[in-house]
């Protein structure tokens, strides 16, 4: 009896391993399951509400927090702009900033500079807010609902971004997870970084001028809905992956696919070019790959000491990328 039981257990394990080894679960249908990276441990500091000792300003709580703490913000509208921080909230430490409810916990930048700025921080999570009304970008090149500089392990999830110059701007930062957000009526919804490991998934980009600016780097853009944008994706010098997204009612789905490279770099680009696959395109009903026109700007770079490197343009050449397996039906993206 024991031998039979052991045999059955071994047989069951063998079947499971066989399923995994043969890939019965198709990889094309797997979504990125990269959970948020909350900072564990630490103390909780409270903003708003009626508890004794609660802070009235988010920045005061952040200033008194240490690595590993959580700043919890009760519902309300917070508008305290701090000029020296160039933002309403400035974060340079490993904390969680959590709103009570994204529908009624609002940080409003009053159209000044940025709303939340994360600077040289390592492991930050921001969730549960409406982030709105950053500056216009007239005097500063990048003003955002959330701007992230020189940071890593950043998670931004379950937020609403409204009427910002850029909804969220990641600059020179790595290990980014941006998911389950609603981004609408911004000039730019999301600007991805030029560093590795940027995951943008399960978001709604609605009625923005640019939904996603995918400049440089190799972000993974999956399971997003891009709807009613002037340009859904602006791709420039990027080797990212754009897969399993819905493109619906945009004036232009892909604004450009543009590269500026050396002749050797052009060969590398052909070997490691951006991947567009499995997206749903509302305006494409043919049982054929979906073409996208791109432009290659090719340069040769030479150096004459003591001068800086010089780029000599060789030409501008059109090329075509394809979504080889466009989806026939839109994906059900939970919101």
Tell me phi and psi for residue 16, to 5 degrees.
-60, -45
Tell me phi and psi for residue 324, to 5 degrees.
-75, -25
Tell me phi and psi for residue 18, to 5 degrees.
-65, -40
- Measured on CA atoms in the order 110, 207, 191, 63, is the torsion positive or negative? positive
Q: What is the mean pLDDT of residues 302-325?
A: 79
User: Smallest Cα–Cα separation from 82: which of 34, 115, 37?
Assistant: 115
- Over residues 214-236, the pLDDT tens digits come to 987 889 999 999 999 999 998 87
More confident residue, 41 or 277: 277
Q: What's the half-sphere exposure (Cβ side, CA atoms, 13 Å) at 87?
A: 24
Question: How wide is the angle at C-alpha 235 spanned by C-alphas 157 and 142, nearest 5°?
Answer: 60
Pairing of strands 231-236, 130-132: unpaired
Q: What is the pLDDT of residue 161?
A: 99
- Measured on CA atoms in the order 192, 222, 167, 149, is the torsion positive or negative? negative
pLDDT above 90 (res 124): yes
Ranges 9-23, 60-74, 114-128, 317-331: which has the least confidence: 9-23
Q: What is the pLDDT of residue 267?
A: 64
pLDDT above 60 (res 292): yes
The residue assigned the tokens 């709580």 is 61
Structure tokens at 71: 């700043």
Ranges 117-121, 182-186, 269-273: which has the least confidence: 269-273
Q: What is the mean pLDDT of residues 151-158?
A: 98
Write the CB contacts of 264 (distance below 8 Å, at least 6 apart in sequence).
none
CA distance 290 to 196: 27
CA distance 322 to 324: 5
Q: What is the pLDDT of residue 259?
A: 61
Q: What is the mean pLDDT of residues 92-99?
A: 99
CB distance 278 to 311 below 8 Å? no
What is the residue extent of each domain of the chain?
79-323
Average of per-residue pLDDT values in the chain: 84
CA distance 32 to 47: 33
CA distance 187 to 135: 11
Q: What is the pLDDT of residue 199?
A: 98
Q: What is the pLDDT of residue 189?
A: 98
Counting beta carbons within 10 angstroms of the beta carbon of residue 137, is it exposed (0 to 12), middle (13 to 18) or buried (19 or more)?
middle
More confident residue, 113 or 224: 224
CA distance 186 to 147: 14
* Measured torsion, CA atoms of residues 136, 92, 97, 50, in degrees rounded to the nearest 10: -100
CB distance 323 to 279 below 8 Å? yes
pLDDT above 50 (res 249): yes
pLDDT above 80 (res 266): no
Ranges 1-5, 79-83, 194-198, 243-247: which has the least confidence: 1-5
- Whole-model pTM: value is 0.82
Q: What is the pLDDT of residue 30?
A: 44
Q: What is the mean pLDDT of residues 230-253?
A: 91
User: Smallest Cα–Cα separation from 112: which of 90, 132, 97, 127?
Assistant: 132
Q: What is the pLDDT of residue 314?
A: 77
Question: What percentage of residues in the chain have a pLDDT greater than 70?
Answer: 79
């Amino acid at each position: 009896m024991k031998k039979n039981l052991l045999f059955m257990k071994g047989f069951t394990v063998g079947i499971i391993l066989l399923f995994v080894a043969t890939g019965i679960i198709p990889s094309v249908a797997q979504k990125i399951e990269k959970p948020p990276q909350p900072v564990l441990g630490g103390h909780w500091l409270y903003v708003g509400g009626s508890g004794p000792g609660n802070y009235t300003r988010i920045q005061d709580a952040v200033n008194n927090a240490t690595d590993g703490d959580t700043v919890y913000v009760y519902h309300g509208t917070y508008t305290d702009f701090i000029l020296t921080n160039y933002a309403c909230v400035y974060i340079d430490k490993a904390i969680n900033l959590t709103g009570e409810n994204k529908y009624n916990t609002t940080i409003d930048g009053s159209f000044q500079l940025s709303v939340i700025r994360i600077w040289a921080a390592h492991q930050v999570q921001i969730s549960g807010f409406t982030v709105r009304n950053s500056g216009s970008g007239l005097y500063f090149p990048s003003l955002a609902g959330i701007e992230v500089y020189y940071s890593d392990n950043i998670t931004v999830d379950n937020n609403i971004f409204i009427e910002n110059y850029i909804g969220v701007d990641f600059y020179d930062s790595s290990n980014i997870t941006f998911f389950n957000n609603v981004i609408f009526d911004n000039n730019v919804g999301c600007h991805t970084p030029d560093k590795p490991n940027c995951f943008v998934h399960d978001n709604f980009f609605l009625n923005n001028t640019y939904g996603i600016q995918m400049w440089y780097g190799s972000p993974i853009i999956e399971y997003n809905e891009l709807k009613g944008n002037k340009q859904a994706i602006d791709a420039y010098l990027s080797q990212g992956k754009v897969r399993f997204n819905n493109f619906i009612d945009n004036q232009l789905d892909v604004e450009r696919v543009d590269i500026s490279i050396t002749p050797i770099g052009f060969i590398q680009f052909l070997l490691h070019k951006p991947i567009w696959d499995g997206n749903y395109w509302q305006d494409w009903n043919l049982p054929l790959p979906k073409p996208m026109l791109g432009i290659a700007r090719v340069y040769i770079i030479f150096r004459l000491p003591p001068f800086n490197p010089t780029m000599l343009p060789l030409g501008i050449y059109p090329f075509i990328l394809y979504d080889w397996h466009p989806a026939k039906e839109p994906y059900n993206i939970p919101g």
